[in-house]
Structure 1
Amino acid sequence: MLSDLSIRDVVLIDRLDLDFGSGLAVLTGETGAGKSILLDSLGLALGRRGDARLVRPDADRATVVAGFAPPEGHPVWALLAEHEIEPEDRLTLKRVLSADGRSKAFINDAPCGVGLLKQVGETLVEIQGQFDQQGLMDSATHIRLLDSYGRLDDARARTKEAHGIWRAAMKKLEDARAGAAQARAEEEFLRFSVEELDQLAPKPGEEADLAAKRTMLQNAEQIVEALTAALEEIGGGEGAESRVGAAQRTLDRVAAKAEGRLDPALAALDRASVEIEEALAALNRAGAEMDGGDSDVETIEERLFALRDVARKHKVEVDALPALRDTLGERLSLLDAGEERIAALDKEAARTREAYLEAARTLSEDRRRTAEALDRAVNAELPPLKLEKARFETQQDMLDESAWGPRGIDKVAFRVQTNPGMPAGPLDKIASGGELSRFLLAIKVCLAEVGTIPTLVFDEVDSGVGGATAAAVGERLDRLARRVQLLVVTHSPQVAARGADHWRVAKAERDGHMSTAVERLSDEQRREEIARMLSGAEITDEARAAADRLREGVRA
């Protein structure tokens, strides 16, 4: 609930500090005393639009701080956690409005955007009045209020879950259809590319092998010359092979006489002879491979360039061509099998749509029964509020399929008929200012048990009524205040007599300028204020006696 409100330099208020308790608090005062300034100030702290004209003429800025004590589990705590604002024992909303129209917002002294301040404020306070467009005046809230009144949380949760499953199935179907359409558009390209890659049959690492062979063959003449020279040096008439053989024969003739001393040398020469033979064989093989090199270069280059051309066309490396062929082949296979998959997904989407519709229709029927109960309850409240010819109705229409959502298939709006034979319409279009406030009061009384907003503000809910009707308004405000904190701006003594707290707003000249002050009234002061409201400018003993009777009747 709202625990305190501090106002600095707002219009006629230079400095004001108020603290509030639970139950019904009434604010009274002469017309023009500044009661609307209090509501404008509270609205600033709640994130409503700021206007530079709200800054007191001789001040640089206006400041409003509202303190709250929300109960544990209230939605505001989750909202603050979502925006990483640390919870404290109390919650403060602060707004600073400069004379140039710029403003700053704070939550628990942490800077924040005005948008977040407004979000937080809407969970804490609801202001109902002729010119307010939040709360019941916003038709977007009606379906939530109806569901809360009927305690339809479970049915709504089932509908939301079924909607999510249906939308997920539709997403898969849409993606598959889009993929198939794209595949069909490029089918010719896919088939040509797969055929081209199959004919080319690229192998991993082939580019490096071909490049190495190409480099070697391009230098074939030099290599052949070197091979020829090497063969001549090793195997020629005076080459290494001939000389090693001669050395072996020479040593063999005297080996027996050396008593084994030449054996290591002979063994080494044997090994050298074998290595020379292997070297000659390797040189001959290399020479054979170099034979006809011009034609091999052309073949290798043709293959290498073909691989590189295809790789450039697909914007991949040559080594990635084998994997690319597999990918393109899979896409082609999906195209061939796509119709079956799409048919299966279409069937699943239809099944989940029917499951969602079943849940939504059940919720819709629950809403219909709830709407009938709410209509009966609200209409029962109207006659005592001098709205005996008016009717309240909950209009429930089925949305187009394109608008179906997690909340179901219904559009819900509260509508009123002020006179028999006239068409029903939206609250703010049909009802006059006084009627509208009383309609809002009747609805709020019926919805009090299911609301989550702890503080309600009514601005002149008793406008245009008196006597028994004003007493009925006061009785309903009193009843509503047992469930929520209620602040009421009133000109009705019957309503004022119901207040647990009574504040008087007065305007007076001070230090050469007009200033608005707010005073919490004592018991005797309340008697005088209610008497003033009954009699006018001159307070008579009869008015005081009537005030006493009003207050005694309330206490009884």
Structure 2
Amino acid sequence: MISLLSLKDFAVVSAAELAFGPGMTVVSGETGAGKSLLVDALMWLTGARADAGIVRHGAERAELAAEFGLADAPAALAWLRENEMDDGSDCQLRRVIRADGGSKAWINGRPATLAQLSELGALLVEIHGQHEHQALLDRGQQLALLDAFGRHDPLLAEVREHARRWAELDRELGDLARAGDVGERVAWLQHQVDELARENLDPADLDQLQAAHRRQANAAGLLQGCESALARLAGDDGLSLSRALHQVSADLARLSSDEPRLAEVVALLESADIQLAEAGAGLERIRDDFDLDPTRLQQLEDRLARLHELARKHRLPIEGLAGRRDALQAELEGLADASGRAERLGRERQQAAADWAAAAAKLSKSRATAAAKLGQAVAALMAELGMGGGVFSVLLDPQDSTRPLPQGAERCEFQVSANPGQPPRPLRKVASGGELARISLAIEVAALGLDAVPTMVFDEVDTGIGGAVAEVVGQKLRALGAERQVLCVTHLPQVAAQGHHHFQVSKAVAGASTHSAVTPLDDKARVEELARMLGGVEITREVRANAKQMLSRAQAG
């Protein structure tokens, strides 16, 4: 629910900060004082398009902010987490609208688009007024409310799953159909796979091949290098390194009796002599392993040439040929049984359609029962709200579709006749704003506790009524406030008296400027405000007594 609303340079409000609690909060004030500004502020905070006209005259921008607790808004919390905008168990919406018409928005301090603000706002606040196109006018929302009223979640989940399965199978069949005659493709794939399969494309084998080719291609140079190194070690051009080391070691050994530290040098020279001998032996083995085989070299070059040609053909490095072979093989296997696969998919799709039809039929039957109950409940509430003889019905309209639909086999249309003798018309076509607001209230009360939106705002739902009907409207709003947070802008004392909390909007002119202020009222101030609403310009002692009695009676109920 909303806990705090802050306004700055918004219309005729220079600055205001309002704290809200649970239950029903009423907002009242003189005509033209700006009672509906709070509703307008919530609309812009929840995604309405920016209008430079809301910026206070002379100001650069209007700033709006609202804080919401999410304990009663699990859907909003899930949305925040999904969009990585969550910040604990609270949520803050902020919007700045500039005088040139531009605007920026933030969700929990993170920049947000208007679409994101609207999506989240729809999960936090639902506005019912005389002019706004509220959610209840949307046929999709009407169907969702009917399903919530009928508690259809399990049936609806089954219908959606069968529709999803049918769509998946239909997509696979479409892919096969678009492929057409796959005979030529199969033959081409088989040729490519066979060509690649003739070569060993294992990465280790490719490394060995390239290493062997380098050795054969450079065998003459390698052999010559080994021979030259062995000749130098053997001393073919003079004293061998081994004999030189031996002589130096012997000379130093004779001197070591006079200088003991020379013994360490002698030991190092002897070790070097041993390593030199091992190096010579290693060179001899390597030299003897070299095989100047032109035929072998040609074979290696031929194989490398084939691999390079395949790599150019498939536009891949040699190392990528193995993956290409596997991909072609997989496609070949997928197309090899194309006709059989199409028949199998067709049977599965037919079964999915049958399963959907059976599940949709159960859902349709349950919807019909729920529609009758909801229609009766709303019609009874309409009579209490001053529309006696009115009719409310829920029309289930079968959808003409060639494919299973995830929402079921029908659409939903709320229909209403507010006056006796008139045929029911779609709710979205009801002309009277006051009637529309009261009908919306009746629907909300009938579906009490089923609407997931935690905060409901009613903007002058009492237009065109009075007396006992006004008191009933107030009682219904108060009952709704026991389940949801309710904000209600009203001009009727019978409705205002029912609120758990009360704000008064007043307007004053200072110089050339007009200011509106929003003030929370205590019990004494509420009596005065109710007296003003009851008595008009002249407030007598009797009017105050009447107001006090009205407030006491409403709060006691």
TM over 0.5: yes
Structure 2: distance between partners of 1:372 and 1:432 = 25
Question: What letter is aligned with 2:381?
Answer: E
Deviation at 1:112, TM superposition (A): 2.0
Structure 2: distance between partners of 1:323 and 1:541 = 94
Structure 2: distance between partners of 1:443 and 1:110 = 36
Q: Residues 274-299 of structure 1, C-alpha deviation per residue, up to 9 Å, x if partnerless?
A: xxxxxxxx99xx99x9xxxxxxxxxx
Contact 1:183 1:332 (C-alpha < 8 Å) held by counterparts: no
Structure 2: distance between partners of 1:359 and 1:419 = 38
Deviation at 1:27, TM superposition (A): 0.8
**TM-score normalised to the size of structure 1?**
0.75
In structure 1, the residue matched to 2:551 is 551
Deviation at 1:329, TM superposition (A): 9.3
Deviation at 1:385, TM superposition (A): 1.2
In structure 2, the residue matched to 1:135 is 135
Question: What letter is aligned with 1:75?
Answer: A
Deviation at 1:426, TM superposition (A): 2.4
Q: Residues 43-82 of structure 1, C-alpha deviation per residue, up to 9 Å, x if partnerless?
A: 2222222211111111111111111112166111111111
Contact 1:418 1:431 (C-alpha < 8 Å) held by counterparts: no
Deviation at 1:350, TM superposition (A): 0.6
Contact 1:506 1:517 (C-alpha < 8 Å) held by counterparts: yes
Question: What letter is aligned with 2:439?
Answer: F
In structure 2, the residue matched to 1:183 is 182
Structure 2: distance between partners of 1:23 and 1:194 = 73
Q: Given the superposition, is the C-alpha separation of residues 194 and 9 from structure 1 closer, same or farther in structure 2, using an over 3 Å criterion?
A: closer
In structure 1, the residue matched to 2:436 is 436
In structure 2, the residue matched to 1:92 is 92
In structure 1, the residue matched to 2:114 is 114
Equivalent positions of 1:33-432 (< 5 A) are 33-71=33-71, 74-178=74-178, 180-184=179-183, 337-402=337-402, 404-432=404-432
In structure 2, the residue matched to 1:18 is 18
Contiguous gaps of at least 5 residues in structure 1: 213-281, 290-303
Q: Given the superposition, is the C-alpha separation of residues 456 and 188 from structure 1 closer, same or farther in structure 2, using an over 3 Å criterion?
A: same
Structure 1: distance between partners of 2:23 and 2:322 = 79
Structure 2: distance between partners of 1:146 and 1:351 = 29
Deviation at 1:312, TM superposition (A): 7.9
Question: What letter is aligned with 1:414?
Answer: F
Say whether 1:494 aligns with 2:498: no
Q: Residues 501-526 of structure 1, C-alpha deviation per residue, up to 9 Å, x if partnerless?
A: 11111110125311001112222221
Contact 2:166 2:404 (C-alpha < 8 Å) held by counterparts: no
In structure 2, the residue matched to 1:445 is 445
Contact 2:356 2:404 (C-alpha < 8 Å) held by counterparts: no
Q: Percent identity?
A: 38
Q: Given the superposition, is the C-alpha separation of residues 183 and 323 from structure 1 closer, same or farther in structure 2, using an over 3 Å criterion?
A: farther
Q: Given the superposition, is the C-alpha separation of residues 130 and 402 from structure 1 closer, same or farther in structure 2, using an over 3 Å criterion?
A: farther
**TM-score normalised to the size of structure 2?**
0.75
Question: What letter is aligned with 1:144?
Answer: A
Contact 2:5 2:19 (C-alpha < 8 Å) held by counterparts: yes
Equivalenced residues, count = 475
Secondary structure, counterpart of 2:449 in structure 1: helix
Deviation at 1:308, TM superposition (A): 10
Please give the root-mean-square deviation of Cα atoms over the aligned residues, in Å: 3.8
Deviation at 1:166, TM superposition (A): 2.2
Contact 2:388 2:419 (C-alpha < 8 Å) held by counterparts: no
Deviation at 1:321, TM superposition (A): 11
Q: Given the superposition, is the C-alpha separation of residues 494 and 333 from structure 1 closer, same or farther in structure 2, using an over 3 Å criterion?
A: closer
Contact 1:202 1:322 (C-alpha < 8 Å) held by counterparts: no
Q: Given the superposition, is the C-alpha separation of residues 332 and 107 from structure 1 closer, same or farther in structure 2, using an over 3 Å criterion?
A: closer
Q: Residues 282-327 of structure 1, C-alpha deviation per residue, up to 9 Å, x if partnerless?
A: 99xx99x9xxxxxxxxxxxxxx999999998887899999999999
Question: What letter is aligned with 1:393?
Answer: S
Secondary structure, counterpart of 1:450 in structure 2: coil
Contact 1:462 1:473 (C-alpha < 8 Å) held by counterparts: yes
Q: Residues 369-405 of structure 1, C-alpha deviation per residue, up to 9 Å, x if partnerless?
A: 1111111111111111121122111111222325643
Contact 1:9 1:63 (C-alpha < 8 Å) held by counterparts: yes
Secondary structure, counterpart of 1:149 in structure 2: helix
Q: Residues 161-200 of structure 1, C-alpha deviation per residue, up to 9 Å, x if partnerless?
A: 222222222233223333x5151575787799999x89xx
Q: Given the superposition, is the C-alpha separation of residues 5 and 330 from structure 1 closer, same or farther in structure 2, using an over 3 Å criterion?
A: closer
Secondary structure, counterpart of 1:401 in structure 2: coil
Contact 1:183 1:331 (C-alpha < 8 Å) held by counterparts: no
Q: Residues 321-342 of structure 1, C-alpha deviation per residue, up to 9 Å, x if partnerless?
A: 9999999899788767432221
In structure 1, the residue matched to 2:301 is none
Structure 2: distance between partners of 1:71 and 1:310 = 64
Q: Given the superposition, is the C-alpha separation of residues 188 and 431 from structure 1 closer, same or farther in structure 2, using an over 3 Å criterion?
A: same
Q: Residues 101-130 of structure 1, C-alpha deviation per residue, up to 9 Å, x if partnerless?
A: 111111222222222222222111111011
Structure 2: distance between partners of 1:338 and 1:52 = 62
Q: Residues 1-58 of structure 1, C-alpha deviation per residue, up to 9 Å, x if partnerless?
A: 1111111001110011111111111111111111122221222222222211111111
Question: What letter is aligned with 2:449?
Answer: E
